[in-house]
Amino acid sequence: MAQRRSIIVLLALSGSLGAVSAPAQSYNTSPLRVAPHPRPVDASSPAVLVNVSKLPKTVEVSITAAITTLSMQPGVKSETFAYNGQVPGPTLDVREGDHVIVHFKNNLPEATTIHWHGIHLPFDSDGSPYHPIAPGATHDYEFTVHAGTAGTYWYHPHPDHRTGFAIGKGLYGGIIVRAADDPLPAMPDKLLILSDNRFLQDGAIDFPDAHSQHAIKDESNGREGPVLFVNGQVMPTISIRSGEVQRWRIVNASAGRIYRLSLTGHTLLQVGTDGGLFEKPIEMKDILLTTGERIELLVRGSDAPGAHSVLQNLGYDRYVPQTRPLDWDTTRDLLTLQTTSEAPVIPVAIPASLRKIIPLDTAKSTAVRTIVFSQGLINGKTMDMTRVDVSTTVGATEIWEIENVVGMDHPFHLHGFQFQVLDRDGVPEKYRAWKDMLNIPKHSSARIIVRYDDFPGKWMFHCHILDHEDHGMMGVLEVK
């Protein structure tokens, strides 16, 4: 890494957004820390896709995927795959009720798709492996953004066997769905897309030769890299005024890395997850963010003017001992939250209640599905696109029992339909939420409930460690 490393003395900071004041937390203060960038790189949200439609409630945008040479690390050029020449790709920023048309052009030398991760949409716009876009071909994705789905989503390729490679090369972007009636007051809104990558000396993105030791390790763990990015920047800075409250939408676009996020000196106030806001804000000391998952936080500039805090990734052991990285529990810095020298402002009031989430009724469930994750397999099988693993009908409500029988975490993702978590290891879920990602930790289980309210088709469910998915840890749900 080209960064200057130095010791930073963490200031004694404290801050809490809610009325409840949290005790000061202790942090792993290893002596080596990444310094704030000498000339701070702004972690400003990626550019937004330009809507060319003149029609009301219509968003019409163009995305081209192509090989692009970019500087991903300071001073080093890398050959990437990029959406509209940018990594991350430009953000799709829409409102509930909008009709979205995406004119997509594949200028890559290989087939690809765009999967609109978490969005409830027709099967033929899901961008799953059933609908590859050939090199040089174009495709229009079309969908309507449903009421009640305001939240943070993302888009990325989902071609057969190549998803990890394509995302690792740089193909990922954010989606913001804004509510018709947002319960949160107006405030600065930041999209923060987390990713990690690995590079060779010459700047090339490092994908090891098949069957090499490194490839075997990637296949086991999911490919990780030592360089951590926020919006494609290494250790960028967000400025905040003391007292100001910001809304941070955080996306995990990493292939295998599961983050345990904390903000030094702050209690985190989580207001939402994959499918939008919770019913009420929840205070958290740190938050686990599995692959593909999203969170929304409210961050208050509680530091003294001129002081700073650091968003960190604390260690988390998702691995089998045989392939666990030696530095798995090393705390890594992600970004600096720099409090400006301006005089403090009075924070906006955060509503105690955000929205009502009606629980799906377990009494209406017509089937219980058992999904067993073992290493690389779902119910003992690898994916076969000509096979249907779960067959159901539009309108059905079902419970899925997902069990992980091996010593490594596997994050579960279902296409097309948001679900609610009923319990984890038999412990009822404490708060209601709409989810499309759920980490299933090693040797644990969870139960979810889902209603297929429309959209017949063949929907993927899979482990979202991309190397596992690409090696067949995926199944097909057919809704007729």
Neighbouring residues of 55: CB distance < 8 A, sequence distance ≥ 6: none
Q: Which is nearer to Cu ion, 89 or 168 (CB)?
A: 168
- Give the SS3 label for residue 213: helix
Nearest distance from residue 117's CB to Cu ion, in Å?
16
Residue 143's DSSP bridge partners are 100
Nearest distance from residue 400's CB to Cu ion, in Å?
16
Nearest distance from residue 462's CB to Cu ion, in Å?
8
Q: Which is nearer to Cu ion, 139 or 156 (CB)?
A: 156
Q: Which is nearer to Cu ion, 127 or 411 (CB)?
A: 411
Nearest distance from residue 314's CB to Cu ion, in Å?
21
Q: Which is nearer to Cu ion, 410 or 435 (CB)?
A: 410
Q: What is the DSSP string of 23-48?
A: PPPP----S-EEPPPSSPPB-PPPPB
Q: Kindly list the residues in this chain that would bind Cu ion in the complex (CB under 5 A).
A: 410, 463, 465, 468
Cα–Cα distance between 335 and 312 in angstroms, integer?
Answer: 7
- Judged by phi (left if over 0) then psi (alpha if -120 to 50, else beta), residue 426 lies in left
Cα–Cα distance between 417 and 460 in angstroms, integer?
Answer: 10
Q: Which is nearer to Cu ion, 48 or 406 (CB)?
A: 406
Q: Which is nearer to Cu ion, 266 or 464 (CB)?
A: 464
Nearest distance from residue 472's CB to Cu ion, in Å?
11
Nearest distance from residue 206's CB to Cu ion, in Å?
21
Cα–Cα distance between 121 and 161 in angstroms, integer?
Answer: 23
Q: Which is nearer to Cu ion, 148 or 407 (CB)?
A: 407
Cα–Cα distance between 431 and 279 in angstroms, integer?
Answer: 8
Half-sphere exposure of 70 (CA within 13 A, CB side): 21
Nearest distance from residue 253's CB to Cu ion, in Å?
16
Nearest distance from residue 465's CB to Cu ion, in Å?
4
Joined together, the tokens standing for residue 173 give: 């972007």
Neighbouring residues of 88: CB distance < 8 A, sequence distance ≥ 6: 46, 170, 172, 173, 174, 193, 195, 231, 232, 253
CA torsion angle 115 270 181 353 (round to 10): 140
Q: Which is nearer to Cu ion, 320 or 388 (CB)?
A: 320
Q: Hunting for tokens 């005790």 — which residue is that?
A: 23
Cα–Cα distance between 58 and 53 in angstroms, integer?
Answer: 6
